[in-house]
Amino acid sequence: EAGVAQSPRYKIIEKRQSVAFWCNPISGHATLYWYQQILGQGPKLLIQFQNNGVVDDSQLPKDRFSAERLKGVDSTLKIQPAKLEDSAVYLCASSQLQGSSYEQYFGPGTRLTVT
């Protein structure tokens, strides 16, 4: 089965510019997550979708970050305007409810550098 797809893999932008990331989860996975992973740290959840509804966006900086998941499949994460501290790897993950085991499958990530 195909894994979680993300694009682009790398992006370099200047501060105050905008950027968008795309994620295509594993087919049939109802839950989709966006994480921010700063160098040397663990992934931090930005937003979680269940189908096309938001379950948790408590750590999403809503003044500059936005995300959507139209039709409950693909998702985009946008940053506008970017700041230097947004430099990180942005990970997308998806999961399917399987009894009591909720495994997440991760995409390769998008490495963002803000200069």
* Contact yes or no for 6/22 (Cβ under 8 A): yes
Decide: is 10 part of the binding site for another protein (CB under 8 A).
no
Stretch that binds another protein, among 15-23, 34-42, 60-68, 79-87 (CB under 8 A): 34-42
Question: Residues 105, 91: contact at Cβ < 8 Å?
Answer: no
13-21, 41-49, 61-69, 78-86 -> range binding another protein (CB under 8 A):
41-49
In sign, the C-alpha dihedral spanning 110, 76, 69, 81 is positive
Residue 40: HSE in the Cβ half-sphere, 13 Å Cα cutoff: 0
Q: Which is nearer to another protein, 14 or 38 (CB)?
A: 38
DSSP structure class, residue 101: B
What residues from 50 to 109 belong to the interface with another protein (CB under 8 A)? 50, 55-56, 91, 93, 95, 97, 100-109
- Contact between 25 and another protein by CB under 8 A: the answer reads no
Taking the C-alpha atoms of residue 66 and residue 41, their distance in angstroms, rounded to an integer, is 22
The residue ranges that bind another protein (CB under 8 A) are: 4, 31, 33, 40-45, 48, 50, 55-56, 91, 93, 95, 97, 100-109
